[in-house]
Amino acid sequence: MSKILEIRDLKAAAKRRVPKMFFDYADSGAWTEGTYRANEEDFRNIKLRQRVLVDMTNRSLESTMIGQKVSMPVALSPTGLTGMQHADGEMLAAKAAEEFGVPFTLSTMSICSIEDVASVTTKPFWFQLYVMRDREFVKNLIDRAKAAKCSALVLTLDLQILGQRHKDLRNGLSAPPKFTPKHIWQMATRPLWCLQMLQTKRRSFGNIVGHAKNVSDLSSLSSWTAEQFDPQLSWENVAEIKEMWGGPLILKGILDVEDAKMAARTGADAIIVSNHGGRQLDGAPSSISMLPKIVDAVGDQIEVHLDGGIRSGQDVLKAIALGAKGTYIGRPFLYGLGAGGKAGVTTALEIIHKELDITMALCGKRDIRDINRDVIAQ
Ligand SMILES: Cc1cc2nc3c(=O)[nH]c(=O)nc-3n(C[C@H](O)[C@H](O)[C@H](O)COP(=O)(O)O)c2cc1C
């Protein structure tokens, strides 16, 4: 990992190590990928104020997200199929996050199960919920997250219908992979990935297979998923989930001021301004462009977080300056995982931490909790 200096290096390394269909799964957005690109581009267009001759000693990046201490305000996003970027991926990423002192969020659509991740961590992690039509299964997932002592539930609101990602369709993505000549070739050219994958038994959706009704094997899983995401999810359902869970609740996928106002009224602990990393509604604005408007509308009522397009510590600082209390990284940690397993995730976090620290100092600030719009160049 010696030549890895920025997240882009981890991405290039992951591309060399992970079979194409799974690398592409991470590096894809819906349709034209315009929103995916805008998430990153709009960060680049925000400029910072350079300040000089201010004391830069004793800097601190420590903060809180929903009242929980974090070593920097950056959590790991929930991402599906993470155990396909690297064998046992969710367990490795959770351990890296725990050691770094930042939250790890396990996706409903993970390869490693809630219990797998709980078995290798000592501190609580967060669990992301997709609401399925089978409410018994949802209740069961929530109970499992409670039993694992998860310290927040992240309820995703923007994926009741799947956005179309051309790369996945062209690649014939599935977990576990199919054994057509194309897929065999993609894996054969990534021998280390294959070797590690052969050493784990976790190659399917760990939270679902064996837990949901009539899903005991993989052949029934894809049809189950297509049928199960509930397209009628409503604000009333959010209240029901909140009640069922009874702990800290984060609503993920808010990109509109009106929705943010509705979300604030639910009594949830935080919202995540997010367009699912540009994977759902292509043509939607970038997350960072919507952040100031949403913070102005509801920032005094609910904690506002942001994800989408963060590729450096500078981006984290910009999001915090524009009012986010916390941020999340999806692809940056997936690239780290694909590039080097747990060590790669740690490297991703170290890169972002260092960039955030230096940027904050050069903006003339010493404490991340004091950052506000003042550091943005007008
Ligand atoms: C490969 C991949 C899988 C994802 N799977 C999920 C998921 O299962 N649940 C969810 O709420 N969000 C999911 N997301 C969205 C992320 O949680 C997050 O919103 C997004 O990755 C943030 O953008 P970034 O990748 O630019 O950091 C996924 C994103 C990626 C890249």
pLDDT at 175: 67
pLDDT at 335: 98
C-alpha to C-alpha distance for 354 and 308, rounded to whole angstroms: 20
Q: What are phi and psi of 16, to 5 degrees?
A: -75, -20
Tokens of 359: 């940027």
C-alpha to C-alpha distance for 7 and 356, rounded to whole angstroms: 13
DSSP 99: H
Answer whether 59's CB lies under 8 Å from 360's CB.
yes
Q: Is 276 a catalytic residue?
A: yes
pLDDT at 179: 82
341 lines ligand 1 (CB under 6 A): no
> Residue 278: which region, alpha, beta or left (left: phi > 0; alpha: psi -120 to 50)?
left
The answer to whether 347 is annotated as binding is no
Q: Going by CA atoms, what residue is nearest to atom 29 of ligand 1?
A: 79
H/E/C letters for each residue in 141-200? HHHHHHHCCCCEEEEECCCCCCCCCHHHHHHCCCCCCCCCHHHHHHHHCCHHHHHHHHCC
Q: What are phi and psi of 79, to 5 degrees?
A: -135, 135
**Ligand 1 centre from 308 Cα, in Å?**
8
**Ligand 1 pocket, mutate which of 233, 276, 316 (most atoms under 8 A from CB):** 276
Strand partners, 251: 155, 271
109 lines ligand 1 (CB under 6 A): yes
Given the structure tokens 């294959």, which residue do they identify? Answer: 194
Assessment of whether the complete model's pTM goes beyond 0.95: yes
The answer to whether 285 is annotated as binding is no
pLDDT at 226: 75
C-alpha to C-alpha distance for 297 and 279, rounded to whole angstroms: 25
Residue boundaries of the structural domains of the chain: 7-375
342 lines ligand 1 (CB under 6 A): no
Q: Going by CA atoms, what residue is nearest to atom 13 of ligand 1?
A: 79
- Ligand 1: atom nearest CA of 108 is 8
Q: What are phi and psi of 168, to 5 degrees?
A: -65, -40
The domain 7-375 having CATH identifier 3.40.50.300: the answer here is no
pLDDT at 220: 61
pLDDT at 173: 83
The answer to whether 51 is annotated as binding is no
364 lines ligand 1 (CB under 6 A): no
Half-sphere exposure of 124 (CA within 13 A, CB side): 16
Answer whether 85's CB lies under 8 Å from 106's CB.
no
C-alpha to C-alpha distance for 298 and 372, rounded to whole angstroms: 16
Q: Going by CA atoms, what residue is nearest to atom 2 of ligand 1?
A: 79
C-alpha to C-alpha distance for 274 and 306, rounded to whole angstroms: 6
Tokens of 125: 């992690």
Q: Going by CA atoms, what residue is nearest to atom 5 of ligand 1?
A: 79
The answer to whether 327 is annotated as binding is no
CA distances from 48 to 14, 123, 329, 345, 359 (A): 30, 36, 21, 27, 9
Question: pLDDT under 70 in the chain at which residues?
Answer: 1-2, 175, 216-222
What H or E segment, with its residue span, contains residue 246?
none
39 lines ligand 1 (CB under 6 A): yes
Tokens of 263: 């979300």
309 lines ligand 1 (CB under 6 A): yes
Could you say which of 183, 276, 305, 353 is catalytic? 276
253 lines ligand 1 (CB under 6 A): no
pLDDT in tens, 133-175: 999 999 999 999 999 999 999 999 999 888 989 999 898 887 6
Q: Going by CA atoms, what residue is nearest to atom 31 of ligand 1?
A: 26
C-alpha to C-alpha distance for 46 and 149, rounded to whole angstroms: 39
Q: Is 166 exposed, middle or buried (0-12, 13-18, 19+ CB in 10 A)?
A: middle
| Cα distance between the two ends of the chain | 38
